C-alpha cells in the first residue's frame, strides 16, 4: 500500500465531525469536538457529548465491510486546547511533542500513544485488515477497548479447562503444544553431541 496515494485521495465535501454513531441498547459514551461558526465568522470549538454508541459500531462485523480510506481527522481536539498529556499529564515541550489518538481524537505524548490499530475512515477498528484500513496511532484507553473487545471470553469453570494429553510415543512432550519443528525431524534421525 502506498501511503502517499492514500493521502492524496479527496475527502467528502461535507464530512461528519468524526465517526457516525448510532444509538443502541448496549452502549458506551464517547466525546468529540465540533467546529462551529459564530455570528462574527470566527471559528470556535465546542465540546459536545456524542450519542450513546453500540459496541458493534466500533468494529466491522465482516471482513468485506466497506472501507474507503484513511481515518478522518475531523474529530481531533485542537492543539491549542491542551498543554499536557491527557493520560500522564506530562507538559508538552519542544521535545515532548503532541500526538493525536487517531481514534478518539484526544492529545497525548508519544509514550502514551505508542499503540497501533487498523482503523477505517470513520475511526472504527477494522481487525480484519482490509487493504484500505490504515495502521494508526492510538492511545492506551482505545487500545484497552480494542484488546477487551477482541479477546476471547474464557470460561474458568473446572469442567471446561483445557487439559493437554501426553503423547504416548514421546514421553514428556505434550501433543497439542509440541513445536512444528519436532514434526519435521525424521524418525530415524540420530542425535549426537560433539
pLDDT in tens, 109-159: 999 999 998 888 888 887 766 666 678 899 999 999 888 876 555 444 444
Going from N- to C-terminal start, the domains of the chain cover 19-150
Distances (CA, A) of 190 to 126, 167, 175, 177, 180: 49, 21, 22, 23, 19
Does 3.40.50.720 match the CATH number of domain 19-150?
Answer: no
User: 143 phi and psi, to 5 degrees?
Assistant: -65, -40
| Sequence-separated (6 or more) residues with CB below 8 Å from residue 97 | 109, 110
What count of other Cβ atoms lies within 10 Å of the Cβ of residue 17?
A: 17
Residues 36-51: tens digit of each pLDDT = 444 444 444 444 433 3
Q: Which residues of 46-72 are buried (b: 16+ CB within 10 A; e: fewer)?
A: eeeeeeebeeebbbbeeeeeebebbbb
User: 158 phi and psi, to 5 degrees?
Assistant: -65, -30
Q: Which of 31-35, 47-51, 70-74 has the lowest mean pLDDT?
A: 47-51
Q: Which of 11-15, 62-66, 132-136 has the lowest mean pLDDT?
A: 62-66
Q: Which of 98-112, 132-146, 180-194 has the lowest mean pLDDT?
A: 180-194
| Contact indicator for 167, 183 with CB cutoff of 8 Å | no
| Contact indicator for 32, 75 with CB cutoff of 8 Å | yes
Residue 108's pLDDT is what? 94
Mean residue pLDDT across the chain: 66
Q: Give one DSSP letter per residue of 87-121, joined into a string.
A: TT-PBP-SSS--EE-TTT--EE-TGGG-EEEEE-T
Which three cell numbers, joined as nine digits, stand for 140? 492506551
Amino acid at each position: 500500500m502506498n501511503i502517499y496515494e492514500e493521502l492524496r485521495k479527496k475527502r467528502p465535501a461535507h464530512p461528519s465531525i468524526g465517526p457516525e454513531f448510532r444509538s443502541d441498547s448496549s452502549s458506551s459514551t464517547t466525546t468529540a469536538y465540533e467546529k462551529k461558526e459564530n455570528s462574527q465568522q470566527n471559528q470556535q470549538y465546542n465540546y459536545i457529548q456524542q450519542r450513546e454508541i453500540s459496541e458493534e459500531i466500533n468494529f466491522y462485523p465482516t471482513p468485506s465491510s466497506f472501507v474507503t480510506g484513511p481515518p478522518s481527522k475531523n474529530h481531533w481536539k485542537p492543539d491549542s486546547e491542551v498543554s499536557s498529556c491527557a493520560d500522564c499529564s506530562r507538559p508538552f515541550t519542544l521535545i515532548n511533542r503532541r500526538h493525536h489518538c487517531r481514534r478518539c481524537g484526544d492529545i497525548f505524548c508519544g509514550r502514551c500513544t505508542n499503540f497501533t490499530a487498523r482503523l477505517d475512515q470513520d475511526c472504527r477498528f477494522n481487525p480484519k485488515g482490509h487493504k484500505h484500513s490504515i495502521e494508526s496511532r492510538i492511545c492506551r484507553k482505545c487500545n484497552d477497548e480494542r484488546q477487551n473487545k477482541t479477546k476471547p471470553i474464557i470460561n474458568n469453570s473446572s469442567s471446561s479447562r483445557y487439559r493437554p494429553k501426553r503423547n504416548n510415543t514421546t514421553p514428556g512432550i505434550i501433543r497439542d503444544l509440541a513445536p512444528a519443528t519436532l514434526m519435521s525431524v525424521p524418525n530415524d534421525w540420530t542425535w549426537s553431541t560433539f
